[in-house]
Amino acid sequence: MTTVAELASRLAAGKNSSVELVTDCLARIDDPASEGARTFTAIFADEALADAERMDRLRQGGGAPSPFAGIPVSVKCLFDIEGKVTTAGSKVLADAAPATDDAEAIARLRKAGLVVVGHTNMTEFAYSGLGMNPHCGTPGNPADRSRIPGGSSSGAAVSVADGMSALGIGTDTGGSCRIPAAFCGVTGYKPTARRIPTGGTFPLSPTFDSIGSLARSVTCCALADALLAGQTPRLPQPLDVASLKLAVLDNYVLENLTPRVAAAFDAALATLSSAGAQLTRITLKDIERLPELNARGGILGGEAFAIHRDMLNAHEQDYDPRVAVRLRKAEAMEPGEIAALRAIRAEMTARADAITRPFDAVIMPTVAMEAPVFADLDADDGIYGRQNLLALRNTAVGNFLDRCAISLPLPVDGLPVGLMLMGETMGDEKLFDVAMTVERVLAM
């Protein structure tokens, strides 16, 4: 699948029709040899083809709502789609009433003419970074089908990597766009949380929930982010590499890296340095407190349990046991505990801002490891728990500090490895410029 900008150019030139693009995606989804049945929880073939035909007619008449009208997009199954059931990857919601409206973010995409091909699979209720779902099955990693795709936006990543959509819309509360992007070899973006409205999206943690995108390039994610934010799309502007100031975070996020991830990260730093980028090592001592702050559930766990308490008490037998255990972890949190944690977070964020403000971005590995194999995780809850915490460790730093962040695929052979750039709060457009610059340098 080519990039969103390339598809828009081809549609404008008449080299492709939207019907052709959507038909190709649907064929890939429907191929019995593909991961389509595990990548999507629902396929909207008839509606997608009808929308594609409508966009083609509008374009022929000069009335396309945007240059991106007719481009196929997949949507994580916790976003409301009018007339469809929002299951959030769970049996618990399988018989819920269909949504009466599109989620606010998805309505913005539809207004621009993008075509929704289906709801993508996910970890149940978005509560894991590994992407496994015992109810719907789990799509295999495009690089090695015996390995997990990462999560929670598992289907979004695989839909893009396997050409089942040009763009995947997901959510990121602790890394759920960036982790599967890193594991599947695509680009994944987490905006500043308040940048994009979450109305009509099944929540996990209102403090941290962010609506992001997974795609083939930085530019694809930038275009998607602008549409989701209700802004006029803007192409990222590459910066002078010699003026690029990158802070290399050298504590916490570099612990327990696999040798291959460590080597790929070091090689990326060397390439950037050779190209003229200014790299400075920094320490954010506060982030070493994150395991302690999350030991009883943390802000995220406390908010998630409050959302699920009644449903969990009534239908726990229908939950993924591994998700139910994580939700129950916060049950013992006391009144006022979340408020106290929010105050600590504000103090830690202010201190981090003061340290990172002089830099264009903070750079680190997206995930400390390559995608684990299904068999190991299926066999042992302890391994699953440890691998989940390690998968989430680096990405969750960006969520806790209220930052925007992007994962870029590194140019490595074999299993994909991701490089994460973390920008400032509401510095999303600048981060896209930085990320495009880094993307170009690493591709040389």
Quote the radius of gyration of the chain (alpha carbons, Å): 20
42 CB burial (10 A radius; 0-12, 13-18, 19+): middle
Beta carbons of 166 and 72 less than 8 angstroms apart: yes
33 CB burial (10 A radius; 0-12, 13-18, 19+): exposed
Q: Which residues are catalytic?
A: 76, 152, 176
Question: Which tokens go with 439?
Answer: 């993307």
* Residues in Cβ contact with 308 at an 8 Å cutoff, skipping those fewer than 6 apart: 125, 327
Question: Which tokens go with 417?
Answer: 């490895």
Cα-Cα-Cα-Cα dihedral sign, residues 244, 213, 306, 308:
negative
DSSP designation for 214: E
Beta carbons of 287 and 400 less than 8 angstroms apart: yes
Residue 236 to residue 193: CA distance in whole angstroms: 20
Q: What count of Cα atoms within 13 Å lies in the side-chain half-sphere of residue 108?
A: 21
Residue 247 to residue 262: CA distance in whole angstroms: 17
User: How does strand 405-409 pair with strand 361-365?
Assistant: unpaired
Nearest one of 93, 101, 95 to 126, comparing CA atoms = 93
* Residues in Cβ contact with 389 at an 8 Å cutoff, skipping those fewer than 6 apart: none
Rounded to whole angstroms, the maximal C-alpha distance in the chain is 61
Packing angle of the helix pair 321-329, 298-315 (nearest 10 deg):
120
